[in-house]
Chains A and B, each alone.
Chain A
Amino acid sequence: MSAQTAPGLSVAAAPGSLGGARRPAPLHTTRRTPGQRVGAAAWWVAVVVVAILTVFPLFWTLVTSLKPAGDILSGALDLIPRTVTLENYQRVVTEVPFGRYFVNSMLLAVAGVLLNLFFGSLAGYAFAKLKFRGKRTLFVTLLGSLMVPGIVTMVPSFLVLRAIPLAGGNNLLGQGGVGLLNTWWAIILPGAAGAFAVFFMRQFFASIPDELGEAARIDGASEFRIFAQVYLPLAKAGAAVLAILTFQAGWNAFMWPLIVLNVQEMWTVQVGLASFVTDYATDYGPLMAGTVITSLPVLLLFVFAQRYIIEGVSHVNAR
């Protein structure tokens, strides 16, 4: 048996290994072999280095947001501000209706998450576990749509939204009005129509054994109950990741809301941030302050959702 056990892969000795901490409480007090000590040290070094690389830019953003305008330009490389000020945060909130944009982005992102989780789980499950005619063609179409560059469907999508019948003053043929333009639907519906959520959840559902559903079917459960009570709980981790990704996509949406929304009051946070960047000069202070503020919700969501991803499906193994 090898004495070289790297911390991540050995189940026996170190706590929190690849296989999850199902072992009894950690063995800090037991003797660690030199190999394990080196391994543990290497782990710490690697993790800290990567953490510095990933967090440093946000840290620099935070520091810059606390510097006054003059200092930002003349002392850009100072990691500790000479003077600390909250004026950038003040400017962000007053110069653009940031609170309003925040609410707008939140509305769009949450609606997007709910719809995408709902449709993605339902359709993804159907593609993974149910048999129906046309399944293969539909699925290939779904997958194919991910490969069409979004940039070229921008104008056609815009025209489609405008021609939705019976919306925004349109008649039955979709003429005469503005359709769904300038409403939240113009952002939410195309977002919920994407194939990504379905494809993503389908992959997660596909890896759960069929036998569970078969058994439940024999016991007389309806398809919907099988979906909701047998499979959906097992796909919690996938749903959590999808929720984070969708929230982020909605939260970071920039170009599309700009195109379909006509009034400034409906803009999103990213648009608000972008107004501090002109062709000629970038107003770094409020831009950095705004970036800090806009990064927080997604981070918080991530911290919250992490649990579901990591503690995902431990009970499956208890079969």
Chain B
Amino acid sequence: MTVTTAATSPPGRTAATKPSSRAQASRKPSRQWRIQERWAWLFVALPMALFAVFVVIPAGMALVMSFTSYSVIGDSSWVGLDNYRRLFLDPYFFIALRNTAYYTLLFVPLGIVVALTTALLLNRNVRVASLFRTFFYVPVVSSTVATATIWLWLLNPQFGMVNVALGLFGIDGPAWLYDSSWAMPAIVIMSVWAGFGTNMMIYLGGLQGIPPQLYEAARIDGAGWWQQLRYVVMPSLSRTTFLVSTLLVIGAFQVFDQAYVLTKGGPGNSTITLVYYIYTQGFGNLEMGYASAISFVLFAIITVFAVINARITGRDNT
């Protein structure tokens, strides 16, 4: 699926195709372009209509809410920038921000590495690899409630499998969810475990598209597996990596389930994430206006990081 010949084919070939298509484009009659445009609008019409009604309008409403003291029930009034002023003076907002940033910094690289490694391990066309792929996908399939229950048990400081296993290596495992330095890493591990299957499949799709000739060429040039990885695989996967990392970054900043089900923000407020804070303020304290304001600040932050991420993975997304 991700045929990345555009990125990896020898320069000469690309240069040969591009100008000719551009030349062709300029020779295209404008009527043909208008017909294409009409088709394009037809294709996007219904999805965009749905998008406008069920995504844009609610988001707009939420934005307006952020300038009011809306609390769903009772009276609400326009308060202008008060909510935004309030959040910049709110120590818990910054605690949540710090926690969320910490989570993202740990989760995204780890998620990419694990997904890519497992995809590389299982990129074979043999029966047994197919079986293992299914095994690796199992965590994704489990429901949140079951996963949380299982991990609570696994992370039990005395009986849990994790500390028992660490004990076999002579390591005295920490109290995980009761230790404010280890609770967030524990959640990161749990999230990576629960989510890597999906990204592994995306990477597998990407790996499938790398033509064997590239490996051949690299081998002939004397490249060992590490060089093949660096110079053949990684560049070919750059578009896939952009997709995976964007999704991971966007998802990481919005982490909620684990805080809600497993730790309720503790211990010592070390796992309050921004979305969890938004939830407790909005639905718990009925301060929807304030919750909206925090959401849009979060939105701005995510946008900044998504742009940074696009630069890092070097992919122009248009």
What is the interface of chain A, defined by CB distance below 8 A to chain B?
1-2, 4-6, 8-12, 15-22, 43, 46-47, 50-51, 53-58, 60-61, 76-77, 119-120, 122-123, 125-127, 130-133, 135-136, 138-139, 141-153, 155-157, 159-160, 189-190, 192-195, 198, 200, 203-204, 206-211, 214, 217, 222-224, 227, 234-238, 241, 244-245, 248, 252, 254, 270, 273-274, 277, 282, 284, 287-288, 291, 294-295, 298-299, 302-303, 306, 309-314, 316-317
Contacts and interface: CB of A to CB of B under 8 A. Distances in A.
Given A2-B222, A156-B58, A244 B40 contact: no
Interface in B269-308: 274-275, 278-279, 282, 288, 291-292, 295-296, 298-299, 302-303, 306
Contacts of A22: 212
A282 B148 CA distance: 12
B5 A209 contact: yes
Contact of B141 (A136, A204, A206, A295): A295
Contacts of B233: 9, 18
Q: Which of A141, A150, A203, A294 gathers the greatest number of chain B CB atoms within 10 Å?
A: A203
Contacts of A2: 222-225
A234 B3 contact: yes
A17 B143 CA distance: 33
Contact of B254 (A19, A149, A198, A245): A149
Contact of A252 (B6, B57, B143, B225): B143
A19 B1 contact: no
B211 to A, nearest CB: 5
B47 A123 contact: yes
Nearest to A21: B125
A71 to B, nearest CB: 15
A150 B151 CA distance: 25
A57 B212 contact: no
A148 B204 contact: no
- Chain B interface extent, by class: 35 or more
B282 A151 contact: yes
B180 interface: no
Nearest to A202: B317
A309 B140 contact: no
B147 A309 contact: no
The majority secondary structure among interface residues of chain B is helix
A51 B129 CA distance: 11
Contact of B150 (A16, A60, A203, A245): A60
Contact of B1 (A46, A51, A204, A245): A204
A61 B122 contact: no
Interface of B: 1-6, 17, 21, 24, 32-33, 35-37, 39-41, 43-44, 46-48, 50-51, 53-59, 61-62, 65, 72, 118, 120-126, 129-130, 132-147, 149-151, 153-154, 159, 161, 193, 197-198, 201-202, 204-205, 207-212, 214-216, 219, 222-225, 228-229, 233, 239, 242-243, 250, 253-254, 256, 274-275, 278-279, 282, 288, 291-292, 295-296, 298-299, 302-303, 306, 317-318
A319 to B, nearest CB: 9
B143 A206 contact: no
12 contacts: A1-B222, A57-B151, A132-B40, A149-B275, A151-B295, A152-B282, A155-B288, A193-B50, A193-B54, A252-B144, A310-B208, A317-B3
A72 B24 CA distance: 71
A58 B143 contact: no
Nearest to A59: B138
Q: Which of B24, B57, B125 gathers the greatest number of chain A CB atoms within 10 Å?
A: B125
Contacts of A46: 121
Contacts of B317: 143
Contact of B40 (A5, A130, A152, A282): A130
Contacts of A20: 125, 208, 212
A151 B193 contact: no
8 interchain residue pairs of minimum CB distance: A16-B124, A19-B212, A237-B1, A156-B61, A156-B58, A223-B39, A193-B54, A193-B50
Contact of B139 (A43, A54, A209, A291): A54
A55 B31 CA distance: 58
Nearest to A254: B144
A151 B154 contact: no
B132 A248 contact: no
A217 B144 CA distance: 48
Contact of A151 (B210, B250, B279): B279
B48 A123 contact: yes
Contacts of B318: 136, 139
A133 B39 contact: no
Contacts of A284: 149
Contact of A58 (B142, B207, B254): B142
B61 A159 contact: yes
A302 B5 CA distance: 28
A285 to B, nearest CB: 12
A287 B44 contact: no
Contact of A312 (B150, B209, B291): B209
